[in-house]
Amino acid sequence: MRSVDLPEPDPGDVLVRALYSGVSRGTETLVFRGGVPQSQYQAMRAPFQEGDFPGPLKYGYLSVGVVEQGPSALLGRTVFCLYPHQDRYVVPADAVRLVPEDVPAERAILAGTVETAVNALWDAAPLVGDRIAVIGAGMVGSSIAAIAAGIPGIRLQLLDVDPSRGAIADALGVEFARPDEAAGDCDLVFHASASQEGLARALELLGQEGEVIELSWYGDRRVSVPLGEAFHSRRLTVRSSQVGAVSPARRARRTFGDRVGLALGLLADRRYDALITGESAFDDLPAVMPRLAAGDLPALCHRITYTDASA
C-alpha cells in the first residue's frame, strides 16, 4: 500500500470516494506477474496508471464510488471510473459515468468487462438464428454469453474445461458444455480462454466460412494456431477484438462514453451478480493479489470493498 497526496480539484474535476473496485483477474494478474511484453507497454497502460511496466505501478480500471466534490449535477452521485484500486481520487468530470439508479454500486464494477463484451458483439454482428459458441467462462466470455442469450432463435453454448463453471452458465440462463462435447458447425465462436488449445478448438467448431472472434490476451506467451488442415478450404476467419478502440462497425456513431453507458444499463440485470465470485477489503489487497495470480484464490471478478469513517 502507498499513500498519495491528492491535488485540489479544479472546477472541471471530481473528487471520488471509492465504494468498490473489481480485480479483472485475467489482465490484472498478468500485469501483476510482469507478463506484459515490452512491445505492448504503451498499449496496455490503464487510463490513470501511475508508474511504468513492468513495475512498480498502480493499475486497474473497475472503480465505483461517490462524488464528494465536483459539479452540482454529479455531487453525491454514484459513478463508474476506469481508475486503479484507490480509496479516493481526483479525475476530470468527463472521466466518470453516472451509475443508473437501478444498478447496484456493488455490481457496477463489471461495467468495464461488459463494455468489452459489447464491443466484441459489435465486431461479430451476430444474426438471428446463428449458431454461437463462447469458449472460456471467465468474466469476458460469460458477459458475452449473457448478452448474446437475448438474440432470438440462436443456438448458444458457453464452454469451459472447468465443470464448476457450469453454475455460472446456469445463473446466466445459458447452456454449458465442455469443449470436447460442444456442438459444431458454428457461425461464430468467441474465444476467451487465453489458451492455444481453446483457440484450436474454436477453429474446429466453425462451419464453412465461420469466424472466430479472438478476445484472449496472451501477454508475452507465444501460441500455435492450426492454420493447416481445413483452415483454407473452409475459408475460416480469425479476427481480433479489443476494447481499446470502439468497433469499426459502430465507430462513426458511438463514442467510448456511449459504449460504457450501454454496458452500465445492461447491468440492471441481476444475472451478472454470478460473475462476482469473491470479496476482500481494500487493506487485504496486497495479500489477495498474489493468491489470485497463483490461482490459489479462484475467481472471475474479485470485488474490493472500501470503508471510511468519514463516509
Same-domain status, 190 and 143: yes
Average pLDDT across the chain, whole number? 94
- Asked whether residue 116 is domain-assigned, the answer is no
Is it the case that residue 101 has pLDDT exceeding 90?
yes
Same-domain status, 135 and 102: no
Task: Report d(CA 246, CA 269) in Å as an integer.
Answer: 23
Is it the case that residue 309 has pLDDT exceeding 50?
no
- Average pLDDT estimate for 233-247: 93
- Average pLDDT estimate for 110-136: 97
Same-domain status, 162 and 97: no
- Average pLDDT estimate for 175-191: 97
Containing 88, the helix (H) or strand (E) segment is strand 88-92
- Asked whether residue 28 is domain-assigned, the answer is yes
Q: What local confidence, expressed as pLDDT, does residue 64 receive?
A: 98
- Asked whether residue 251 is domain-assigned, the answer is no
Is it the case that residue 308 has pLDDT exceeding 80?
no
- Average pLDDT estimate for 207-232: 90
Distant-in-sequence contacts of 200-208, Cβ < 8 A, 24+ apart: 200/224, 200/225, 200/226, 201/135, 201/159, 202/133, 202/135, 203/231, 203/236, 203/238, 205/133, 206/234, 206/236, 207/131, 207/234, 208/234, 208/235
Q: How confident is the model at residue 311 (pLDDT cuts 50, 70, 90)?
A: very low
- Average pLDDT estimate for 274-297: 94
Q: How confident is the model at residue 242 (pLDDT cuts 50, 70, 90)?
A: confident
- Average pLDDT estimate for 295-303: 89
Determine the residue type at 142: S
- Asked whether residue 151 is domain-assigned, the answer is yes
Q: What local confidence, expressed as pLDDT, does residue 43 receive?
A: 85
Least confident of 19-28, 110-119, 186-195, 274-283: 19-28
Is it the case that residue 307 has pLDDT exceeding 90?
no
Task: Report d(CA 86, CA 246) in Å as an integer.
Answer: 27
Share of the chain above pLDDT 70, in %: 99
Closest listed residue to residue 140, CA positions, set 211, 217, 198: 217
**Which residue range(s) make up the domain with 132?**
125-240
Q: What local confidence, expressed as pLDDT, does residue 218 receive?
A: 83
Q: How many domains does the chain fold into?
A: 2
Burial class of 80 by CB neighbour count within 10 A (0 to 12, 13 to 18, 19+): buried
List the CATH number of the domain containing 215.
Answer: 3.40.50.720
Task: Mention every residue, 6+ apart, whose C-beta is less than 8 A from residue 57.
Answer: 31, 49, 50, 51
Same-domain status, 83 and 181: no
Same-domain status, 160 and 199: yes
- Average pLDDT estimate for 264-280: 97
Least confident of 18-22, 25-29, 241-245, 257-261: 25-29
